[in-house]
Structures are given as structure tokens and as C-alpha cells.
Structure 1
Amino acid sequence: MEIEITAVGGYEEVGKQMTAVRLGEDVIIFDMGIDLSKILLHENVETESMHSLDLIEMGGIPDDRIMSDIEGDVKAIIPTHGHLDHIGAIPKLAHRYDAPIVATPFTAELVKKQVQGEKKFGFDNPIRKMEAGEVIQINSKVTVEFVNVQHSIPGAIAPVVHTPEGAVVYGLDMKIDHTPVIGDPIDVDRLKEIGREDEGVLALIPEALNAGEDGRTPSEKVAKEMLRDLLHSFEDYDGGIVATTFASHIARIKSLLQFAQEIDRRPILLGRSMEKYSGIAERMDLVEFPDVGMYGHRRSIERAMKRVMDEGKEKYLPIVTGHQGEPRAMLTRMARDDTPYEIEQGDKIVYSARIIPSPINEGQRHQAEKLLRMQGARVYPDIHVSGHMGGDEHYDLLDWLQPEQVVPAHQTASVRSEYIDMAEELDYKMGRDAHLLRNGDSVTLTE
């Protein structure tokens, strides 16, 4: 069976992930993401109403026109998890393929939400839910297995394509977390088994983030303890406390809610994405949020903020959007004094998120923090642990799987070169069994 990997998107940037794996005459697409940093360069852009070709030219979504050069039919579109850089382009691109979206239940619900807002294209691809540990048949010789992993969002998986030539493991956006706050630990035993099976692992497509750095990523349990320590230190403070984190990071939000209640404050979630992700997680019984207000529409948010100001900021802990300094997000509007919630001298602002590296994010976050400090707030940045592997864990994954070839993704060429350097320490060789692709490039693994 001829097996070919095509880099469609995410091989020159952090964002707009999309990879095609051809297995003889059948093709599987992994991820269809959006690059928000490219879209934010343009003011007042409404992506829901835009044509896919305009977004491609803007650099906001993968240029999937390369797919016309692949000789095969797409049989499945498989997003690894529900972050926008992995599902955000599905409304714009999926309709071109006569194939189902196959995803874990939480990711599938987020895909449904994503396509509901689409105004330019129709969407009639079936959405098939599949749990971690289950297998889907692609044809008589090929299956795809969902292996449970941990990331900063529920429902993350590493899809493994089983072929007669060996397995192809798509390992983007994961961490080796043995003590997660939500969900099961990463299935290390299964990954090791896959590496020891008779056919072995033909190829690993890993993310390259942190490959050039030493050390391991701490467990989400560590972030929980950091938040516990910080918020309990504010227990006797009688002013305002505001926290922000990734709206999709349900485990982190769960910790914030717990500690807000422990210090006798009522938590409220403010922002459209906060309401969306947490609402879905609660409806799916992934978490329980008893007596927690969720407000996503502007009027309901403003009413909630007025109630907080009337009843006393010391009684509440708002958890809001805006950890990257996004101009229209709640914390940024609070920093600009554009909401009923008033930032006052001594108020505590907790950023339980790091900046996603890009000049736009860094500039926006710096400006938001500066405005908050100018109003007298005390800012506590980076109360956070990453959802991605550290350098040592990249070594672990290679050791467990023993792939014949590696094709690093999900980063710029310079960062992916660091992965190649690491792999060469383990006797891989650039151009022979370690491949540095750019968007639009392909590599044939077997002929």
C-alpha cells in the first residue's frame, strides 16, 4: 500500500492545522483549523460571511486546493480536539469532501456549534461520535483508533491509523499528564503497545512545540495547586478579584470555581466563549457547575456586572474572557473602562494563561495589562501550566512508539528544525527518515 503524507496547513505557523494521509486510494484528513492571528490583522472581519478563498489568501485557513493533486477519495475528517486551530475551518472547507466528521463527543458538539454560525456555505457532512479506545474501519485493510491523551481541553485524542505497512500516529497537541483534573490520564500503556506491535509504527506526525527545550510539562494538578495557593491568599481581601483563562480549559475553570467558593465568593462566567464551552461541558456531564451563572450575550453580561457592583465586588469572582488581550473580550473591555464593572485600586487580576506566542497577542496582552495597572489593579500573570509536552516527553514518545519516520508539524520551520535536531540525536536523519515539510509539500513513506 502506498502511504503519503501531505502538509496542508500548520507546517509554517502555529495555527490552521490540516494534514492529509493517503492510504492507497483512500485519504484521511486530520484537523481543519483557523489561524486567528492572521485574521486579527484585519479589523472588523466577520469570518462567518467570508468566502473560503478570501480566507485562504488572508492566510487564515489552510489552502486545501493542494488536495486536488492527491489521487484518492477522502473517507473521513478527524479533528483531534476542539480548539479553533483544529476545527475552525471546518465550516469553510468540509463541504468540499464527501466524508463524515469523526470526533470524540465533546469535540463533535463544538464542531456543531462552529458550523451553526456559518453564513456562506452549507454543511451536510455527517458528524460521527467516537470515544477514546474505539476504532473506525476506513476500508478492508485500514482502521483508525482513537487513543486517549491529555491536553488543555476535554476529549483530546491521538488518532492512530493502522495499515498493513505499520501505524501512522498523528500526535498533535498533547501532554503526558498522569494526574489530570478532568478525564483519564494519557493512555501510555496503549501507546507502548502500538510501538511493540508486529507491524510497528511507520510514521509519527508530532507537534514540534518545546522539542528544543529541556524538562517536562507539569501536570494540570500543579496548576490547580498554584491557583489554590494564590486565591486563598486573597481570602481576607474585600475588593474585586477577576480571573481569566482559556474558555475551553474546562479543568482550569473547574479549579477556579472550586476555589472561588472556598474563599466565599460566588463565581460567574462572563463572555460568549465561556458560556459556550462550559455550557456544553455541563450538559454533557463532564463537570458539575452548581449555582454558577453563565452569561454570554452582551446585555446579560452587563446586567450581571451591574448586579455585582450593586451587591458588592467582594461577594463575587468573575471568570472572564480576554487572557490574550483580545480587543472585544471581557477583560480588555474592563481594562478600557467599557463595562459596568469598575476596576479599582488594589483589585486582583489573575491570568491563568500564558501568552500564545505571536506579536499580535504579545502586544494586545501588554496593552491590556498596562491599562489594568493604570487603574490600580494588581496583576498576577502566568498562573498556568502548558497543555503541551516538554522536551523530555518528546523523547519519551519517540521511545514508546519507535517510529520508522517522523514528520513534525504545528510550528514554524525554525521550531520544527529543533525537533529534527532532537530526532537526529536518536539516529534519525534529515531527508531520510526525518522530514521537514512546508505547507503544500508531500512525502511518500511507502511505494
Structure 2
Amino acid sequence: MEIEIATIGGYEEVGRQMTAVRAGNDIVIFDMGLNLSKVLIHDNIRTEGMHSLDLIDMGAIPDDRIMSDLEGDVKAIVPTHGHLDHIGAISKLAHRYDAPVVASPFTIELVKGELADEQKFDSGNDLVKMDAGETMSIGDSGKVELEFVNVTHSIIDAINPVLHTPEGAVVYGLDKRMDHTPVIGDPIDMKRFREIGREGEGVLCYIEDCTNANKKGRTQSENVAREHLRDVLYSMEDYDGGIVATTFSSHIARVKSLVEFAKDIGRQPVLLGRSMEQYSGTAERMGFAEFPDDLGMFGHRNSVDRTFERIMNEGKEDYLPVVTGHQGEPRAMLTRMGRGETPYELDDGDKVVFSAGIIPEPTNEGQRYQAEKLLGMQGARIYSDIHVSGHLRQEGHYEMLDALQPKHVIPAHQNMKGFSGYVDLASNQGYKLGRDLHVTCNGNLIQIV
């Protein structure tokens, strides 16, 4: 059976992931993501009303026109998890394919939200939920099967999809860290990865997320970030001024820890920002996380400002707002607070806790720097990087190669500089550039079989 891989997006940057795998006449698309930095660099752009071709020209979503060079039919669109760099282009591109979107339950709910917000295109794609550990047949040949393997990442309900073919398995390894003690959900299923590496024809090809491939050592568990956060917030227990925290809205485990520790130090937590309300509200509704009955979640701008007014009237020392803006996004709550555009007034000595790292991309780095400076000019004390990454470092990559023993490897989710650490690691394990180690870019086709 011919196996061909189209590297459509995410092979020259961190963002707009999209990969297609053709097995015979059956094609499966993995991820359809947005490069948010290409949007945020423009003022007041709303992607909901934009045409896909304009977003492609901006570099914001994958250029999927190479799909016309693949001979076969798309049978499924499979996002690995709910981050926008993996699902943010589904509303713009999925309608071109007569195929269902197949994803884990939480991811499907987030895709529904993206489709509901879309103003330009109507998607008729079926939305199919599949849990980690389950499989489904792809196409009519009976020879190709899709499997979801549970992984741990900085969002709940993440999976790595595996396409089983007569020539071996194609493992799409975006995104994960090797967390054996997660705060929410099950540990990464390394047992299943080792089985896949040793059963049948083994692993034909492994497509790997290289976000942290240039960093030595091992990515720590979310439990490490939780204890770091506990230590920081407990140290503020006797402070009688304002404390504000920010993290990834999609990082439900981190939000849960912030809410819990706010209560521990005698403050009322409140979640502020549209995405904060969306992600945590969805997680609570689906039973992935439990929050206190009195936890307020406010997404609309007017509701947020009214909440800020209430906090100022009743006393900042009694509240801990958890807000959007960890990357310094211009329209996010924290950036507006730094510019003095909200009713919440920062005073000298007030604490701002960034429980998030900087996404390694120049736009984010510049915006985060600017946001921290604005907050500091208002007298805020900054607590940075109370965080662990959701991506493997080098020792995790080594463990995955050892578990899967793939015949071919394709680095993804970075640019050429970001691939370098992974290329060195894979080369040391016997892989050779141009033979079975395929460093590629967006818009390429790789014939594996």
C-alpha cells in the first residue's frame, strides 16, 4: 500500500498545524490550526468574518491547496486537542472536505464553539467523539484503522492519533509531555506506545512535536507547577493588597489549582475573560473539573468591568481575579489592566502572577515584554514563569523513539532552528537525514512507501 505524507502547516513555525496521511486511497488529516501571532500582529482583526484565502495569504492558517496533489479521498479530520494552533482553522477549511471531524469529547466541544462563531462558511461536517483507547475503521478496504492513545498536555483530553496500515503504523505525536502524575486525567499511556512499536509491522513513521527539542533534560509533571504555584500564593497570604493571576485559559488543571489556592489564602477567586469562561465552563459542564459553586466566570466585557468595579468597592484584598493575557495579547484583560483601561486599579506592591511560559515566537515575546513593563510602571510586582511546559524535552524524545522504534521520523511544530536539537538526537540514534529522517517544510509531499 502506498503511504504518502503531506506536511501542510506547522513545519516552519509554532502554529497552524496541519498534516495529511494518505494510505492507499484513504486520506486522514491531522489538525487544522491557526497561527495566532499572525492575527494578533494586526489591530482589531476578527477572523470569524474573514475568507480562508485571506487568512492563508496572512500566514494565519495552513495553505491546504497541496491537498489537490494527493490522490484519494479524505475520510477523517482529526484534531489532537483543543488548542487553537490545532483546531483554529477547522471553521475555515473543514467544509472543503466530505469527512467527519473525529476527536476526543472535550476537543469536539471546543470545535463546536469555533464553528458556532464562524460567520463566513457553513460547515456540514459531522462531529464524531472518540475516547482514548478506542479505534475506528478508515475507508472501505478494512485495512486502515485509526486509534487514539492517551497523552498528557497543557489541556485536558489530549490524544496522539495512530493510523494503522498494512505497512505499519503512522504515529502523529503532536502535542504532549510525559506526565505520570497529572493533576487532571490519566497518565500518558506509554504501555500502549511500546506495544504499537513492537506489534505487527511496527511503526512506519513518527511525526514529532519539536517545540522543546533544543532543551536538555525532562519536562516536569504538572504536579511540580502546582506545588510551585502553591508556594508562591501561600507566601502572599498576609498581603493586604491586590493579587492578580493569569494562565492559559485552556489549562484547566492550572486554573483549578489557582482557584483552590486562592480559597486557601482567604480570597474569592473569579475567572475573567471570554476564553477563560469558555474553557472552564465547558470543562465543568462535561465533568472534567469541579469548581466551587460560588466561583464567578465572566466573559463579556461589560460583565468583566462590573466585576472589577465590585472588587474595587468591596476590597481588592478579598479577591483573586484570574484573567486572560498571559502572552501580553493586546485585547486581553491583563494588558488592559496594564494600560489602565479597566476599573481595577493597580497600586505599588500589588502582585501579578504569570503561571504561564512565553510561547517561543517573536510576536508573543514582544507583547509579553510590553505587558510586563506596563504592569511594572503601575507599581505591580511580577512573578514570572510559574509553569511547566506541555511539550517534551530531549529525554522525553529519546524515550519516545525508544518506545516506538519508528522506521521514519518527521520533525514538526517548529522552524529549522527549532528542529536542530531533534535532528542531533535522532542522528545519534542511527537516523540519517534524507534517508529515514525527513526535515521538511510547509507544502511538501513525502513518499514513505
The structure 1 residue matched to 2:227, chosen from 202, 225, 228, is 225
Q: 2:126 & 2:440 partners in 1: Cα distance?
A: 31
Task: After TM superposition, give the deviation of residue 157 of structure 1 in Å.
Answer: 0.2
Query: 163, 180, 189: which one pairs with 1:178?
Result: 180
Amino acid at match of 1:219: S
Q: 2-side partners of 1:339 and 1:444: how far apart?
A: 54
Q: Secondary structure at the match of 1:407?
A: strand
Say yes or no: does 1:89 pair with 2:110.
no
Question: Is 1:308 matched with 2:293?
Answer: no
Match of 1:248 in 2: 250
* Structure 1 residues 20-419: aligned runs within 5 Å: 20-139=20-139, 140-290=142-292, 291-419=294-422
- Shift, 1:212, TM fit: 2.8
SS of the aligned residue for 1:258 comes to helix
Tell me the distance in 2 between the aligned counterparts of 1:212 and 1:321: 28
Distance 1:151 1:82 in 2: 11
Deviation at 1:213, TM superposition (A): 2.3
Is 1:422 matched with 2:425? Answer: yes
Aligned amino acid, residue 226 of structure 1:
H
Identity %: 67
1:247 counterpart letter in structure 2: S
| d(CA) in 2 for partners of 1:310, 1:163 | 63
Q: 2:396 and 2:298 mapped to 1: Cα distance?
A: 38
Tell me the C-alpha RMSD between the 2 structures.
0.7
Partners of 1:248 and 1:41 in 2: CA distance: 22
- CA apart distance, 1:70: 0.6
CA distance in 2, matches of 1:210, 1:327: 26
Alignment check: 8 A CA contact 1:320 1:330 kept:
yes
Per the TM alignment, residue 259 of structure 1 is displaced from its structure 2 partner at its CA by: 0.2
Post-superposition offset of 1:198: 2.4
Aligned mates of 1:359, 1:211 — CA distance in 2: 18
Cα deviation digits, residues 391-438 of structure 1 (max 9, x gap): 101000000000000011111022223312211100100010000111
Instruction: Write the deviation string for residues 152-188 of structure 1: whole angstroms up to 9, x where unpaired.
Output: 0011000011111110000011000000000000001
Question: 1:16 is matched with which residue?
Answer: 16
Structure 1 residue runs without a partner (length 5+): none
Q: How far 1:294 moved relative to its partner?
A: 0.2
Describe the SS at the equivalent of 1:430. Answer: coil
Is contact 2:230-2:261 (8 Å) kept?
yes
Residue in 2 that maps onto 1:440: 443
State the secondary structure of the residue aligned to 1:361.
Answer: helix
Deviations 1:17-74 (A, max 9, x none): 0000000001000000000111222222111111100110110000001101110100
SS of the residue corresponding to residue 4 of structure 1 reads: strand
SS of the residue 1:239 aligns to: coil
The one-letter amino acid paired with 2:318 is: K
* Structure 1 runs, 4 residues or longer, greater than 3 Å off: none
Of 364-373 and 247-256, deviating more is: 364-373
**TM-score where L is the length of structure 2:** 0.98
8 Å contact kept, 2:14–2:211: no
Q: CA separation in 2, counterparts of 1:383 and 1:212?
A: 21
Checking the alignment, whether the CA contact within 8 Å between 2:104 and 2:158 is kept in structure 1 is: yes
Q: TM-score when scaled to structure 1?
A: 0.99
- Tell me the distance in 1 between the aligned counterparts of 2:214 and 2:297: 40
Q: Is 1:95–1:123's contact at 8 Å kept on the other side of the alignment? A: yes
Q: Match for 1:241: what amino acid? A: I
The letter of the residue matching 1:21 is: V
SS of 2:245 mapped into structure 1: strand
Unaligned runs of 5+ in 2: none
In the alignment, is the contact (CA less than 8 A) between 1:417 and 1:436 conserved in 2?
no
Mapped to 2, the partners of 1:198 and 1:118 lie a distance apart of 43
Q: Structure 2 CA distance, aligned partners of 1:248 and 1:42?
A: 23
Q: In 1, distance between residues paired with 2:202 and 2:213?
A: 23
Q: Which string of whole-angstrom CA distances, capped at 9 and with x for unpartnered residues, describes residues 346-386 of structure 1?
A: 10000000111222111111111111111111110100000
Residues 212 and 422, structure 1, Cα contact 8 Å, conserved in 2:
no
For residues 355 and 418 of structure 1, what CA distance do their matches in structure 2 show?
Answer: 19
